[in-house]
């Protein structure tokens, strides 16, 4: 039997995921989400949470089957913003899947990094409406706590009794990947042995819809919602708003094996960079995205040709899709032609700050199950979009998937890439 190596090429602790949790428009829980991906189902519909008739954009990817009272009592659920509810749901699923027993852990060595791009936006919307319509004394006294971006991380730590490193990352649409990457760094530097890491977002509100559609980055395909999110397609016209949460239980390999946990995948690299270019448009040549991907490869100590798959940021905006494609070519050279690239936002929409959390879970499942998720609505690849985007149907990998990147790029020029690989001793 081969000896198990506990450290990486640079002498740092190896980090593995032992539990996954996800809630997205595809469904509640890991299995519901995987089945949704495999069916190639678009979640884009006319908005149900409020009447969008006055809006230029009237579609979104909403979660319709989420009941917070399935895991919280009614009073507690009312005291939490929807973003916090989604975060807790994923934390409970991931912790149970990991078999993590806090009674057997040193709580000072268990931490949480849970990011969000916007925070408790439903709470902010409701509170501001109450202020305008009913006056300052009718604003819910819990509003201040409910709307804070860091409250999901705090709530998870309180539920678990986790006393270790605890903070919130906010970097727009790169948030989820940054949160997971920063938790990885916490573990690698020895500040904890277990970290819950990911992101949550629940921003489908009138104010957010009005604000983001004014950027010109959202699809207006109101007459055909299921076809609206179409990354890398010639006829793409913007992203479709979504909501959700994705979280991983990360541990040092030594700690996971000591408690008898099964490593699912290894988180082996993390890269981040800035475009320093524009508030919303990426660098056209993809160089910022490329630097994040290359950093993830370098930290993992892997060559480009060790990667089989990329879960693309793939928003369905003209500029992002072309820039990301160019960035992949920069990093992978001739190997880019052998990569598979999936844009799962074509199905679940753009979950904003939560995108990187949910897509990291999807990338882990891709490694575990050996099937590449499809990019739906890809009828005619756009000019310059020349990679293998796994169009329309999922694809069985011809061999075990060795390693994959999950990309996230955010307004403000934030770029983040996670490198996950199959766990081997």
pLDDT values of the chain reduced to their tens digit, one per residue, 425 residues: 568 999 999 999 999 999 999 999 999 999 999 999 999 999 999 999 999 999 999 999 999 999 999 999 999 999 999 999 999 999 999 999 999 999 999 999 999 999 999 999 999 999 989 999 999 999 899 988 889 999 999 999 999 999 999 999 999 999 999 999 999 999 999 999 999 999 999 999 999 999 998 888 999 999 999 999 999 999 999 999 999 999 999 999 999 999 999 999 999 999 999 999 999 899 999 999 999 999 999 999 999 999 999 999 999 999 999 999 999 999 999 999 999 999 999 999 999 999 999 999 999 999 999 999 999 999 999 999 999 999 999 999 999 999 999 999 999 999 999 999 999 99
Instruction: Clarify whether 350 is annotated catalytic.
Output: yes
Whether 414 sits among the annotated catalytic residues: the reply is no
Residues 75 and 256 sit within 8 Å (Cβ to Cβ): no
User: Active site residue: 61, 350, 385, 414, which one?
Assistant: 350
Q: Report residue 39 as tokens.
A: 């069916």
**pLDDT given for residue 149 in this prediction:** 94
Question: Exactly one of 313, 329, 348, 414 is catalytic; which is it?
Answer: 313
List all residues 6 or more positions away from 119 whose beta carbon is below 8 Å from its beta carbon: 81, 83, 147, 148, 149, 151, 170
Tokens matching residue 227: 């076809």
Other CB atoms within 10 A of residue 216 CB: 11
CATH 3.40.47.10 occupies which residues in the chain? Answer: 15-258, 270-422
What is the Cα gyration radius of the chain?
20
What is the C-alpha separation between 74 and 77, in angstroms, rounded? 5
Tell me, what's the pLDDT at 2? 67
Residue showing tokens 């009794």: 161
The pLDDT value given to residue 297: 98
Residue 41 CB-density burial (10 A; 0-12 exposed, 13-18 middle, 19+ buried)? middle
Q: Which architecture characterizes domain 270-422 according to CATH?
A: 3-Layer(aba) Sandwich (3.40)
pLDDT at 116: 98
Which residues are within 8 A (CB) of 258 and not within 5 positions of it... i.e. 6 or more apart? none
Does the pTM surpass 0.95? The reply is yes
Query: Does the annotation count 173 as an active-site position?
Result: yes
Buried (b) or exposed (e) across 365-403, using 16+ Cβ within 10 A? bbbbeebbbbbbbbeebbeebebbbbbeebbebeeebbb
Write down the catalytic residue from 173, 255, 348, 414: 173
The pLDDT value recorded for residue 1 is: 52
Which CATH architecture group holds 15-258? 3-Layer(aba) Sandwich (3.40)
């Amino acid at each position: 039997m081969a000896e198990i190596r506990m450290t990486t090429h640079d002498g740092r602790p190896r980090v593995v995921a032992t539990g996954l949790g996800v809630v997205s428009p595809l469904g509640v829980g890991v299995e519901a989400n995987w089945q949704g991906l495999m069916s190639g189902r678009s979640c884009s519909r006319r908005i149900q949470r409020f009447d969008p008739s006055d809006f230029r954009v009237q579609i979104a990817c909403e979660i319709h089957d989420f009941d917070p009272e399935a895991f919280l009592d009614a009073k507690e659920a009312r005291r939490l913003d929807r973003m916090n509810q989604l975060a807790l749901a994923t934390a409970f699923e991931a912790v149970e899947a990991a078999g993590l027993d806090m009674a057997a852990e040193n709580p000072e060595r268990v931490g949480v990094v849970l990011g969000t791009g916007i925070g408790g936006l439903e709470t902010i919307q409701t509170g501001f409406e109450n202020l305008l319509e009913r006056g300052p004394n009718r604003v819910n006294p819990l509003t201040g706590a409910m709307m804070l971006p860091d409250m999901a991380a705090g709530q998870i730590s309180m539920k678990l009794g986790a006393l270790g490193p605890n903070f919130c990352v906010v970097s727009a649409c790169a948030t989820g990947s940054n949160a997971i990457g920063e938790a990885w760094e916490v573990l690698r530097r020895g500040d904890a042995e277990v970290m819950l890491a990911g992101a949550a977002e629940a921003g489908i509100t009138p104010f957010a819809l009005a604000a983001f559609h004014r950027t010109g980055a959202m699809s207006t395909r109101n007459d055909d919602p299921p076809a609206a999110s179409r990354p890398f397609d010639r006829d793409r016209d913007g992203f479709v708003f979504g909501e959700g949460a994705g979280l991983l239980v990360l541990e040092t390999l030594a700690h996971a094996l000591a408690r008898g946990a099964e490593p699912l995948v290894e988180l082996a690299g993390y890269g981040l960079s800035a475009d320093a270019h524009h508030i919303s448009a990426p660098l056209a040549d993809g160089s910022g995205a490329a630097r994040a991907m290359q950093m993830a490869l370098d930290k993992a100590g892997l060559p480009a040709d060790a990667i089989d798959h990329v879960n693309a940021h793939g928003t369905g905006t003209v500029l992002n899709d072309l820039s990301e494609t160019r960035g992949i070519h920069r990093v992978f050279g001739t190997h880019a032609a052998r990569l598979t690239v999936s844009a799962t936002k074509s199905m679940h929409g753009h979950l904003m700050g939560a995108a990187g959390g949910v897509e990291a879970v999807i990338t882990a499942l891709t490694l575990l199950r050996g099937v590449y998720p499809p990019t739906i609505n890809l009828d005619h690849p756009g000019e310059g979009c020349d990679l293998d985007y796994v169009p329309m149907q999922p694809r069985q990998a011809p061999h075990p998937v060795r390693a994959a990147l999950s990309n996230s790029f955010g307004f403000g020029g934030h770029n983040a890439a996670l490198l996950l690989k199959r766990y081997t001793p």
